[in-house]
Amino acid sequence: MTKIRYIGILVSLCIAVSFASAKGVEGATSLPAVSSDVLGSSASSEMSAGGSPAAIPAPLPQSVPETQPTTVSPDAAAEIASLESPSSESPEELQAAPLEENGEEPDLSQLQPEELTIEEQAKNLQYDIPMPWSHELFEKYRQYYLSDKGRKILLSTMEKAAPFMDYIQSKVTEYGVPQELAYLPVIESAFSPFAVSRSGATGIWQFMRNSIGGYGMTITEWVDDRRDFMKSTDAALNKLIDNYNDLKDWPLAIAAYNAGLGALRRAVDAAGGDTDFWNIYDKGLVSRQALDYVPKFLAVASILRYPELYGLELPSSHIRWEAIPLDRQVDIKLLAAKAEIPLDTLKLGNAELHYTITPPENAHLLKIPADKSEEVKAILSDPNAPLVRYEIYKVKEGDTLTAISKRYGISISMIAKVNAGLNPDRLKIGQKLMIPLSLQPLQPSSGSAGGAGGARTAIHTIQKGDTLYGLARRYGTTAQKLANLNGIYLDSVLRIGQKLKVPAAP
DSSP-assigned letters across all residues of 350-410 = TTTBSBSB--SSTTPEEEEEGGGHHHHHHHHT-TTS--S-EEEEE--TT--HHHHHHHHT-
Q: How far apart are CA 463 and CA 416, in angstroms?
A: 26
Catalytic residue among 46, 188, 221, 313: 188
Q: How far apart are CA 306 and CA 415, in angstroms?
A: 53
Type of residue numbered 432 = K
Instruction: Identify any residues that bridge with 47 across adjacent strands, giving them in sequence order.
Output: 53
Cβ–Cβ under 8 Å, residues 180 and 301: yes
**Strands 390-394 and 432-436, sheet pairing:** antiparallel
Q: How far apart are CA 70 and CA 63, in angstroms?
A: 15
Q: How far apart are CA 227 and CA 195, in angstroms?
A: 8
188 included as an active-site residue: yes
Buried b (16+ CB within 10 A) or exposed e, 107-130: eeeeeeeeeeeeeeebeeeebebe
Buried b (16+ CB within 10 A) or exposed e, 455-471: eebbebeeeeebbbbbb
Count of C-beta atoms within a 10 Å radius of residue 361: 12
Cβ–Cβ under 8 Å, residues 393 and 361: no
In 67-117, where does DSSP find H-type helix?
A: 74-84, 91-95
Rg of the Cα atoms in the chain: 46
Where in the sequence numbering do the catalytic residues fall? 188
